[in-house]
Amino acid sequence: MAITRTPAKHFAPLAIGAPEPYRQLPVRLERMIHFIPPHNEKIRAKLKDTIKQVDVVLGNLEDAIAVGEKEAARKGFISMAREFDFGTTGLWTRINCLNSPWMLDDVTEIVANAGNKVDVIMLPKVEGPWDIHYLDQLLAQLEAKHKVSKPILIHAILETAEGVNNVEAIAAASPRMHGMSLGPADLAASRGMKTTRVGGGHPGYGVLADPGDDKAAARVFHQQDLWHYTVGKMVDACLAYGLKPFYGPFGDFADSAACEAQFRNAFLQGCLGAWSLHPSQIEIAKRVFSPDPGEVLFAKRILEAMPDGTGAVMIDGKMQDDATWKQAKVIVDLARIVASKDPERAAQYAL
Ligand code: GLV
Ligand code: MG
């Protein structure tokens, strides 16, 4: 039997003076988590504009930041957090992993110097609920010490075989959990997949159509989504616990079509956003993770045709009932959140 806290203790602050955990996540639009290297002066100089373009800015301290730059990245993140007003744009950081020499200072220095500005800490290489419990307790102690007024949330990267095995327990570990991102690069390595890519498909992974009567005819090969299983497993774990699932990085910046296709698979399966590692991926994520205007207008018709959400009606020859009403509500609710931040799409949605 899994050992868990009693419901009352689950929602109690883990340190005297720490803020109350949320019972429901704050409503935020998070179509893309835009990664920046916080020690890069040129990128920091453009941050005022970047904040207006993206839903979340994330200062990356982990992989892709060289060992010699770890402390500069941490300091750069603290100074950008203090300097800028992020408005409705989220401010996140990806700290170093738990067994690294930098993680403890990442957390203690960031909470001490920018604790009231940071919305979410992304924790890489999470293997089980014990990793979340540790950061949860540490954050509560630091929040109490530095008088942080709202809880800093934890977002786990799902990027080890053990983490995928324990995904449900990770989701259930704490009310501080915000959600999860698929980390396809580390996960590929951890699982022993035979690839050298950051996310996306592989030309060798697919299904060959059966031969027809003409044995000499070419047979069609259908490439399949390498990440289908893991995204599905992550979405179920997240939604069962009221958390948000995300696709992670797509490393081939030149192949925007493949990036869009991969993001769209994740969106249709239930994800709410993906990482943008390059400015060109911001627009792709906006396009994919904002519901399609045609779908929104159709979903609105379903809601209007069944005001109390029950019964059955036909719309354009298609049967609608309580279950399609719920699907339509997911789309219209998301469209409303998008419309609150994106006037162009608000007009298309006619909300
Ligand atoms: C992201 O961190 C990944 O490993 O894909
Ligand atoms: Mg990784």
Model pLDDT for residues 226-264, shown as the tens digit of each residue: 999 999 999 999 999 999 999 999 999 999 999 999 999
Is 251 a member of any domain?
yes
Residue 157 CA, ligand 1 centroid: distance in Å = 8
One domain for residues 131 and 191: yes
One domain for residues 234 and 327: no
Does the beta carbon of 62 sit less than 6 angstroms from any atom of ligand 1? no
If you search the block for the tokens 């590929």, which residue do you land on?
188
One domain for residues 259 and 309: no
Does the beta carbon of 184 sit less than 6 angstroms from any atom of ligand 1? yes
Residue 185 CA, ligand 1 centroid: distance in Å = 5
Give the start-end residues of each E strand in 212-327: 221-223, 244-246, 274-276, 312-315, 318-321
Give yes or no for residue 2 having a pLDDT over 90: no
pLDDT of residue 4: 80
One domain for residues 275 and 337: no
One domain for residues 215 and 262: yes
One domain for residues 236 and 341: no
pLDDT of residue 314: 97
One domain for residues 123 and 44: yes
Mean per-residue pLDDT of the chain? 97
Give yes or no for residue 176 having a pLDDT over 80: yes
> Per-residue confidence at 1, pLDDT binned at 50, 70, 90?
low
pLDDT of residue 196: 96
Is 53 a member of any domain?
yes
pLDDT of residue 5: 87
d(CA 144, CA 327): 41
Taking residues 207-222, report their average pLDDT: 95
User: How many structural domains does the chain have?
Assistant: 2
One domain for residues 248 and 340: no
One domain for residues 274 and 310: no
Nearest to 182 by CA among 79, 305, 269: 269
Taking a 5 Å cut-off on Cβ, the residues next to ion ligand 2 are 159, 183, 186
Domain closes at, from 289, 305, 331:
289
Asked if 231 and 266 touch (Cβ cutoff 8 Å), the reply is: yes
Taking residues 3-31, report their average pLDDT: 94
| Residue-number span of the structural domain to which 321 is assigned | 295-349
d(CA 228, CA 300): 29
pLDDT of residue 3: 72
Taking residues 16-21, report their average pLDDT: 98
Domain containing residue 50: CATH number: 3.20.20.60
> Per-residue confidence at 278, pLDDT binned at 50, 70, 90?
very high
In this predicted model, what pLDDT tens digit does every residue of 116-175 receive, in sequence order? 999 999 999 999 999 999 999 999 999 999 999 999 999 999 999 999 999 999 999 999
d(CA 318, CA 295): 14
Domain closes at, from 272, 289, 306:
289
One domain for residues 114 and 233: yes
Domain closes at, from 289, 305, 338:
289
Is 17 a member of any domain?
yes
One domain for residues 127 and 31: yes
Is 2 a member of any domain?
no
Is 1 a member of any domain?
no
Asked if 178 and 25 touch (Cβ cutoff 8 Å), the reply is: yes
Residue 316 CA, ligand 1 centroid: distance in Å = 43
One domain for residues 307 and 203: no
